[in-house]
Amino acid sequence: MSDLVEFRHLKYIAAIAETANFTRAAERLFLAQSSLSKQIKDLEGGIAIDIFRRNRDGVYATAAGQMLASYALEAIRMRDEIVKAARAVHRGEVPVLRIGFSCFVSPKILQTFSDAYTSLFPECPTQFSGGDPSQILRHMQTGTLDGAILPMPINGEEWVVEHIASAPLVVCMRVDDSLAQRMQIQVSEIPKRLRIFRSPEAHPSAHNRLVEMLTEIGIHPDVSNLAASPSDIQWMVRSKYGLALIDQGTPLDPDLTTRPLAGLNWTADTAFVHHVSAQHLALPILIRHLKKASDRKPHKQPARTKEPKAIQLELLA
């Protein structure tokens, strides 16, 4: 039924809707007015929808016609985008997609991202490079990276940020720690032992935010042990330098374990980020894909918290 609707028709509809005039639309389409008229009339008959109302003072789209017209613009834009990208892929002209990532982003997220890109742009090469968020942002400013997967928050108007994952923030401890007996940890139990943090320079806003949040709930953390990677953190915990807050998804040393924070539902959120002026041809398609996918993930892990997932700390992933 709707197979009668071709892109050609969408183009015609869009042109008529814009000009509100068959004759001028036909000119713009390099078409005779009569041809356009006939095409639309046949279509209207075929799909049983009056698209335009022809009046003394111009042509306007009916309600249904307005829907089709706005859809038309979007559909044509998307088609052109995809065809352009596909052609670039075919010619092998898709430049390597250079992605930066923080080592605090879990491998699973990187894998998911990489898989998504590969399914969208098969056989197109990627280059992943780890580093400090602040370094990575600089690289994106200078154009030596196309995008990045980073812990939130990322501040500034110059960044396009698309949230892609979030995982609970949990307390990391030795398996033989007395706290490991418990299912959950009360915040009030650990203020003095929470002493391991990530280097503030690497991602200042996230660090500041974490400290501030802890302060708000009455913990004044002793930020003395600084780690530059999850394995540093885990080594410190193993060596009894203190406890740490880590992303639940982090692959864990067998001597260590994690426990959720009672009541609190802080999450470590991860985003795909690119500079507003980034050029890579895959970015619009990639972002659109991530946007669609973003709604499914939250559904996968909702059973964990009995309480509504509520406080969200967009924090180091």
Partner DNA sequence: CTGTCCAATATCTCTTGTCTATGGCGCCAT
Partner DNA sequence: ATGGCGCCATAGACAAGAGATATTGGACAG
Q: Report yes or no: 315 and 152 within 8 Å, Cβ to Cβ.
A: yes
When binding is defined by CB under 7 A, the residue of 1, 48, 56, 176 that contacts DNA is 56
Residues 6+ apart with CB under 8 A from 252: 172, 234, 258
Q: At what angle do helices 33-47 and 7-19 cross, to 10 degrees?
A: 110
When binding is defined by CB under 8 A, the residue of 32, 34, 83, 192 that contacts a copy of itself is 83
Residues 6+ apart with CB under 8 A from 176: none
Amino acid at 67: M
* Tokens linked to 314: 């967009």
Give the footprint of DNA on residues 20-49 (CB under 7 A).
21-24, 30-35, 37-42
Does residue 171 sit in helix, strand or coil?
A: strand
Q: For a copy of itself, which is the closer residue by CB, 10 or 236? A: 10
Number of residues that bind DNA (CB under 7 A): 22
CA–CA distance, 90 with 83 (Å, rounded to integer): 10
* C-alpha distance from residue 79 to each of 18, 89, 266, 280 (Å): 20, 15, 40, 18
Stretch that binds a copy of itself, among 97-105, 171-179, 215-223, 251-259 (CB under 8 A): 215-223
Q: In whole angstroms, how close is the CB of 31 to DNA at the nearest point?
A: 4
Here's the x/- map for a copy of itself, 146-175, by CB under 8 A: it reads as ------xx-x-x----x-------------
Query: Under the criterion CB under 7 A, does residue 65 sit at the interface with DNA?
Result: no
Q: In whole angstroms, how close is the CB of 28 to DNA at the nearest point?
A: 12
Here's the x/- map for a copy of itself, 246-275, by CB under 8 A: it reads as -----------------xx-x---------
**Residues in touch with DNA (CB under 7 A):** 8, 21-24, 30-35, 37-42, 54, 56-59
